[in-house]
């Protein structure tokens, strides 16, 4: 158990004297949102896989931000009507699976308190019960040990407590205690959580929301987290070189394990003598350093890190050359397909400009920017096709964490929308080959799904923490490979990770291997790796495409 109940009876007495109406609900939502936002990185750090896309906390915060924006200036006094406004904002702003489920919880809660002018014990119980039911129905295959379990056990606890009390604040306490206990039990219900040594991130996010409400009731601070973590996944290098200043000739990224605790103040002072754009992340005793340095100092950060400990990984890039190459690739504009009334329009989610161009070249009528670490909202997807001159839409989410938001967008439009549940961009690109603008919507969607399932998808990234999953032992900083979403190996080098992935996939049985290189991998390096693959698989055709995706140096399609 992690939560502690600290009652402020004087404040509670004052709150009891006031009706829990729409304006009271607005204050409660603001408090819940604030507490979740303060603890956002804690939720993000609970990612099962050691990949740089632990964004559950971010998705839940952005979903709540949309809910808050919907009511921030509302003068509504009716509790039920305010709940419906919150639900609408959450619905349209929902991002990622966690955000979509959170929006469904709000949607169900609003139904449970429909038109209730002020909240009482019975309507609170009804709201939580309906929230649970709606969230479970919104997921095709509900999984226990997730945010759904937390919502269910919370509703059950409050229902049972209602037989003993009609005090809203005591019922709220029961909800928070039940949520906390449910989160702690999630590893016992979902083996992958136990194997990774974490609790469910979405469930933890829901707990923080409920705890934020209770802290507001008792007048506790909402501006500082109970625990402080700085995971490597929070180290954002995606935009670290958007602007290169004079003297920033090389980018150095290295991982090292210090021999003794770092004197961070002295550490930063020494780094500031070497360069700029300094970022440092820490995870399980390993530090990742990012710095921009002039040419004559490009080895100094390495030498300094070696004085302090053991260097496990080093990457040095010519920053100016890399920026120019990336700019050249991104200057290659693309044109979206023109769609006539009655034709099928494809909306594709793409995490990089190169991938967006590929989808456009294959006939996509709209591109939604997003993917790993930047899941688009329901509203983002809806806006992409709202104004297209046709009512026949196919959505390719191209990410397992975008599928639910795409399905939610399909539910809130009058257009005929089919979501082909592509889980990777490689599946999405394969699906595009079945596009027939003048074909039957359902038949084309079925053909797309069939083609998507034929492609084998590989992803190469760098591990953000040390863990063992599915029998694969991973050290933070190693290159890791995912095959159709499953972690299959860890390697010290990018070369070994790619070749190991292809071996695991049985690439010799296929005809074509396509590499999509990311924003941080130089074109020359991608082609060098392609040559290694050609040597290892002389019978297979190997192609290289610019993807421009962040965090993942290589995406691989095997067909």
Q: Which CA distances in Å does 162 have to 159, 178, 198? A: 5, 14, 32
Both tokens of residue 440?
């039957």
d(CA 79, CA 374) in angstroms, rounded, equals 33
Would you say the C-alpha torsion 23, 28, 31, 34 has a positive or negative sign? Answer: negative
pLDDT tens-digit profile, the chain (559 residues): 577 788 999 999 999 999 999 999 999 999 999 999 999 888 988 877 777 666 888 899 999 999 999 999 999 999 999 999 999 999 999 999 899 999 999 999 999 999 899 999 999 999 999 999 999 998 878 889 999 999 999 999 999 999 999 999 999 999 999 999 999 999 999 988 888 888 999 999 999 999 999 999 999 989 865 543 344 444 444 444 444 455 678 888 888 999 998 888 888 889 989 988 787 877 767 888 888 888 889 899 999 999 999 998 888 888 766 656 655 555 556 789 999 999 999 999 999 889 999 999 999 999 998 877 688 999 999 999 999 999 999 999 999 999 999 999 999 999 999 999 999 999 999 999 999 999 999 999 999 999 999 999 999 999 888 888 888 998 988 999 999 999 999 999 999 999 999 999 999 999 999 999 998 899 999 999 999 999 999 999 999 999 999 889 999 999 9
Helix, strand, or coil (residue 309): strand
Beta bridge partners of 369: 350
Q: Residue 493, Cβ neighbours under 10 Å: how many?
A: 11
Ordered by where they begin, the domains of the chain are 9-217 (1.25.40.340), 232-320 (3.30.70.3100), 332-454 (3.40.50.510), 456-558 (3.30.1180)
pLDDT of residue 227: 43
pLDDT of residue 4: 78
pLDDT of residue 236: 47
479-483 and 486-491: which strand pairing?
antiparallel
Both tokens of residue 526?
């991608």
Nearest to 217 by CA among 68, 31, 21: 31
pLDDT of residue 318: 80
Residues sharing a CB contact under 8 Å with residue 388, sequence separation 6 or more, in sequence order: 339, 345, 365, 366
* pTM beyond 0.85: no
Residue the block writes with tokens 């990234």: 461
Which phi and psi (to 5°) does residue 541 adopt? Answer: -85, 135
d(CA 468, CA 472) in angstroms, rounded, equals 5
pLDDT of residue 242: 43
């Amino acid at each position: 158990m992690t939560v502690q109940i600290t009652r402020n009876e004087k404040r509670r007495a004052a709150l009891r004297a006031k009706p829990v109406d729409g304006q009271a609900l607005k204050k409660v939502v603001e408090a819940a949102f604030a507490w979740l936002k303060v603890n956002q990185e804690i939720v993000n750090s609970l990612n099962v896989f050691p990949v740089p896309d632990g964004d559950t906390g971010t998705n839940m915060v952005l979903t709540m931000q949309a809910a808050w924006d919907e009511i921030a200036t509302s003068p509504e006094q009716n509790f039920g009507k305010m709940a419906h406004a919150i639900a609408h904002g959450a619905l349209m702003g929902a991002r990622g699976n966690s955000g979509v489920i959170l929006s469904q919880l709000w949607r169900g809660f609003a139904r449970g308190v429909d038109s209730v002018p002020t909240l009482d014990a019975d309507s609170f119980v009804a709201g939580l019960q309906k929230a649970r039911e709606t969230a479970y129905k919104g997921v095709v295959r509900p999984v226990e040990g997730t945010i759904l379990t937390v919502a269910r056990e919370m509703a059950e606890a409050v229902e049972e407590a209602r037989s003993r009390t009609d005090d809203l604040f005591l019922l709220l306490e029961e909800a928070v205690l039940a949520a906390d206990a449910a989160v702690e039990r999630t590893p016992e219900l979902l083996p992958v959580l136990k194997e990774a040594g974490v609790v469910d991130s979405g469930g933890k996010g829901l707990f923080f929301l409920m705890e934020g409400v209770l802290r507001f009731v008792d007048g506790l601070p909402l501006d500082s987290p109970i625990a402080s973590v700085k995971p490597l996944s929070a180290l954002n290098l995606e935009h670290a070189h958007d602007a290169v200043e004079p003297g920033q000739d090389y980018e150095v990224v290295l991982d090292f394990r210090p021999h003794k605790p770092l004197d961070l103040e002295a550490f930063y002072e020494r780094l500031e003598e070497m360069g700029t754009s300094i970022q440092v992340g820490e995870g399980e005793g390993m530090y990742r350093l990012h710095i921009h340095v002039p040419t004559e100092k490009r080895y100094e950060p390495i030498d300094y890190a070696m004085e302090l400990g053991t260097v496990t990984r080093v990457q040095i890039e010519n920053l100016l050359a890399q920026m120019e190459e990336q700019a050249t690739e991104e200057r290659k504009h693309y044109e979206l397909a023109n769609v006539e009334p009655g034709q099928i329009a494809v909306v594709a989610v793409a995490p990089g400009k190169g991938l967006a161009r590929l989808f456009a070249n294959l006939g996509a009528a709209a591109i939604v920017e997003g993917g790993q670490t930047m899941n688009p909202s329901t509203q983002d997807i809806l806006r992409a096709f709202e104004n297209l001159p046709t009512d026949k839409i196919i959505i390719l989410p191209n990410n397992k964490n975008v599928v639910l938001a795409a399905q939610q967008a399909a539910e809130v439009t009058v257009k005929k929308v089919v979501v082909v549940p592509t889980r990777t961009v490689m599946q999405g690109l394969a699906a595009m080959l079945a596009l027939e603008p003048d074909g039957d919507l359902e038949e084309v969607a079925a053909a797309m799904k069939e083609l998507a399932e034929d492609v084998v998808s590989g992803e190469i990234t760098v591990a953000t923490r040390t863990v063992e999953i599915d029998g694969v032992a991973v050290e933070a900083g190693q290159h890791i490979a995912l095959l159709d979403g499953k972690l299959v190996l860890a390697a010290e080098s990018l070369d070994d990770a790619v070749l190991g992935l292809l071996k695991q996939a049985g690439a010799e049985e296929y005809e074509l291997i396509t590499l999509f290189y990311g924003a941080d991998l130089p074109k020359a390096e991608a082609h060098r790796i392609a040559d290694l693959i050609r040597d290892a698989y002389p019978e297979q055709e190997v192609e290289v495409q610019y993807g421009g995706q962040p965090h993942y140096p290589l995406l691989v399609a095997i067909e």
